[in-house]
Each structure stands twice: as structure tokens, then as C-alpha cells.
A and B are shown apart, each in its own frame.
Chain A
């Protein structure tokens, strides 16, 4: 298998991209498909800023060979909002002041989604555990955990 035209399903949309086996998912998303929401920082699994969901599973796009994600359902931060309406998790990050430089935010939001899909009413401790694979160098995390609580509240009310 060398160069091929591969089909990716990202945020419900299909994209064709010319890829080679050694290409990483983060690069295909950002450079081939043009979705720059997932951020590249450490490239080593340490920071979680590149987190996307692949078939619902939180994954480091910096350590995923793009070829292994073909045909799977990929969800990135761009797929969270509904048109111009932010997803309740995004809204919660904004109103809680959980975004400073914003570099960690896409990954934080994706990990929060995984948590709230499994556990709609997490404790602060559970929120911290769920976000342990995402580093933030700005906020000190308190407001991020606040945002998870706010988001959980809105989503339980059906928002």
C-alpha cells in the first residue's frame, strides 16, 4: 500500500484526501482537510491538545496513523457547534472563563464530551480524572472543572 485516495468521515462530512501510510491523522485533518481545530503541541501523547474522537473514543491524533482512521467516524471540535450555536460544553467553557490562550481548549472540550456522554453528573473529582490526559498551561484547571459542572448542568436540563 502506498499513496491512495482515502475517504474520511469527519463531523459527519465525507472528505477524500491523498494520503500515504506514514501520514498522521493530525496532519491530514489540519493540512489536507483544512480542519485546524485539533492542535498540535507535544506530538507525544503528553498534552492531549490534539484529541479527537474516533468512533467515540478519545484519541491522540498526533499518534494515530491516518490510514487507520479511514472510514471511521471522526469528531473534531469543529463538529461540536450546531451552526452558529455553540455546543453547551463550548458555551460553558466561555462563560466560566475556562479559555485563556485557548490552545488546550479543543482537546479539553472533546474529553469533556466523552465524560458527559458516559456520566451526566460527574463530581469535580471525576471531572479531573476524565481530563487528566489534557494539559493546560494557563488556567490552573479550576475554571475548566467549573466549566464541566456548568456544561453538565445545562445538558441535564436538555440544553
Chain B
């Protein structure tokens, strides 16, 4: 870690168009909250020639929507703002629960949710809930705008689907079905550390049975992943101890973890099973009230 940053040219445009015209892969980097970018610049992991701040572009810090129209937030919406937003509190409890597991107030006050996603760490606590809720990512280029499912956004460790001349402008979360319940679980060395394993579950119950289930796990593969086999196993079933146990055993199959300073691969795989079991249990209870 270096004490000072290497020099770069700095730009503070006031329109998205200007930002997009400037950005260029690793050479010209966008600055949102700077929590990750400045840290990586200190470590010389990213040494941009130019830094383009989003902070002077008006109107990017919104969090809006409601239970029936879905949720949207912009590139400058901070984690804290989303965590405290009324609409998220009322209708998207899964996202709020996940953000609450990032404990540092300063990190959440400076850091944006979109910045967190753009870092593309498999340990993101923001990604699994968005996978579970089927969120979409709006990406803007100089003459184009596209919207892709969050699952296509994460490509590899540290790699997203953002092109060198593109930026992310918005995350769109669809409204959640009635009768749904959710839960987010995170296992970490200490409360302030990033996840060894995390899991987000969204289940929809109808007539006492699981009509739909979406399960996403993080920190156990190069990107967050859906545990599709576990989802299929629980669908159509009554959500009881037995069915939950069977489904969570299959969740570990989605995991291809590595061993690192935080955990061994073997432990992570086993913990996927436990976290998904607990999350399914909790989500089912919450769906019933």
C-alpha cells in the first residue's frame, strides 16, 4: 500500500454524455464514492491516466419506486441512502437486510451500490439480493443504452459486462410477487469483514406450497451464482424441514469455491448448504406473515 497516489488528470463533467465520452477502460476511470477506486489506486492495482468524477452530474442519486412499480436507483445512490430509503424498507427488505450486513457507516455513506457492483467482487453483499430479485443493469455508451440481467453483468472476478466506453447508470428491480418472503445470510470472520459465503433467498408461497424460489450465493465462485438445482428441488413442495434440507444440499453443487485467507474451499461448500438452509427457512417464515 502506497501513502500517495500517482498523478492523473481529473475531470468533473456535469452531464452523463460528457462522462461517457471520456471513459476508457482502465486508462480513464469513473469515480463514484471512490471507496474502492482510491484504495486500488493506492495499491497501484489501478493506475488511471484520467479520473472522471460522477459527483457533479446532477440527478444520479435517486432511490425511487414502490411495491407495485418496482425499485430504481441511480449511479450515485449510496448504500446508506438505499438502506434508509422508505421504499426499500417497505418493499425490498432483502436489499436492506444485505446492506445492513456492511457495518461501516462511513463505507455506506461514501460508497454507492452501483460502485459496489462495478468492482465485481464475488463477495459483494449487494449482488446476491439483486440476483434473487431478478434485477437489471442499465448501461450507457456514447450512442447506446442497453439493459441486461444482473447475471450477465458479472463476468469474472473483477470483470463486468461494461464495455471500455460505457458506464452503469441505473439498477432496476422488478416488483416482488405477493406472498413472497426473503432472507439474506452472511458468514464472515468478523462483522466488518467481507463474506466467506453469503446467500440471498426469495421464495413465493401459494396454497402452502413453494410456487417460486430464487437462490443466489456469493463468494463461492468467480461471480455470484444462482443455485438453480436447489431452486428446482424446492419448487412445488411444501416448505418443511425435509424439503428445505434436500434443496439446500443441492445448493452446494452451484459452488466452485477457492481456498484463501478467509476459508478453505471445502468449508465454503459446506457453509453454502447451511446458509441456504437457514435462509430458506427464514424466507418461508417471513412469506407466511
Q: Do A and B bind each other?
A: yes
CB distance from B189 to the nearest CB of A (A): 13
**Does any Cβ of A come within 8 Å of B213's Cβ?**
no
Q: Would you call A132 and B192 a contact (CB within 8 A)?
A: yes
Please report the C-alpha to C-alpha distance between residue A22 and residue B192 in the assembled complex, in whole angstroms.
28
Are B110 and A133 in contact (CB-based, < 8 A)? no
CB distance from B45 to the nearest CB of A (A): 12
Task: Let me know if A122 is at the binding interface, CB within 8 A.
Answer: no
Complex Cα–Cα for A60 and B39 (A): 11
Q: Does A153 contact B (CB under 8 A)?
A: no
Nearest chain B CB to A132 CB, angstrom units: 4
- The residue of chain B having its C-beta at the shortest distance from the C-beta of A131 within the complex is B105
* B267 interfacial contact with A, CB 8 Å: no
Set A20, A44, A130: member contacting B39, Cβ < 8 A: A44
B104 CB-CB contact with A under 8 Å: yes
Is the CB of A5 closer than 8 A to any CB of chain B?
Answer: no
CA distance A129 to B201 in the complex (A): 25
A130 — nearest CB in chain B belongs to which residue? B105
B42 lies within 8 A of chain A by Cβ: yes
Number of inter-chain CB pairs below 8 Å: 85
* Cβ < 8 Å to A, chain B residues 4-22: 4-12
Interfacial chain A residues near B38, Cβ < 8 Å: 24, 63-65
In the assembled complex, which residues on chain B have CB atoms less than 8 Å from the CB atom of A51? 106
Q: How far does the Cβ of A147 sit from chain B's closest Cβ, in whole Å?
A: 17
Looking at the complex, which one of A23, A27, A57, A131 makes contact with B109 (CB distance below 8 Å)? A57
Bound together, the chains give a CA A23 to CA B7 distance in angstroms of 8
The complex places the Cα of A68 from the Cα of B32 at a distance, in Å, of 11
Q: Number of contact residues on A: which range applies?
A: 20 to 34
Say whether B106 contacts A59, CB under 8 Å: yes
Does B3 contact A43, Cβ atoms closer than 8 Å? yes
Selected from A23, A65, A133, the residue in CB contact (under 8 A) with B104 is: A133
Closest chain A residue, CB of each to CB of B104: A133
A21 touches B (CB below 8 Å): yes
Q: Per a CB cutoff under 8 Å, which of B1, B34, B103, B105 touches A68?
A: B34
Question: Does B148 lie at the interface of the complex (its beta carbon under 8 Å from any beta carbon of A)?
Answer: no
Q: In the assembly, what is the distance between CA of A141 and CA of B34, in Å?
A: 29
B51 near A21 (CB under 8 angstroms)? yes
Check A1/B106 contact, CB under 8 A, given A60-B35, A63-B34, A65-B34. Answer: no
A27 touches B4 (CB 8 A): yes
Indicate whether B191 reaches chain A with its CB closer than 8 angstroms.
yes
Residue A48 lies at the interface, judged by CB distance under 8 Å to chain B? yes
| Partner pick for B106 among A21, A22, A45, CB 8 A cutoff | A45
- Asked whether any CB of chain B lies closer than 8 Å to the CB of A90, the reply is no
Would you call B107 an interface residue if the criterion is a C-beta within 8 Å of the partner chain's C-beta atoms? yes
Report the Cα distance A132→B103, complex, angstroms: 6
- Residues of A near B51 (CB, < 8 A) are 21, 65
Excluding A60-B35, A132-B192, 10 further A-B contacts by CB distance (< 8 Å) are: A20-B7, A21-B8, A44-B39, A59-B109, A63-B34, A64-B110, A68-B55, A129-B103, A132-B103, A133-B103
- A-B CB proximity, top 7 nearest: A133-B104, A21-B10, A132-B103, A22-B5, A63-B38, A133-B106, A133-B105
Q: List 6 A-B contacts (CB under 8 A).
A: A1-B11, A23-B5, A24-B4, A43-B1, A45-B106, A132-B105
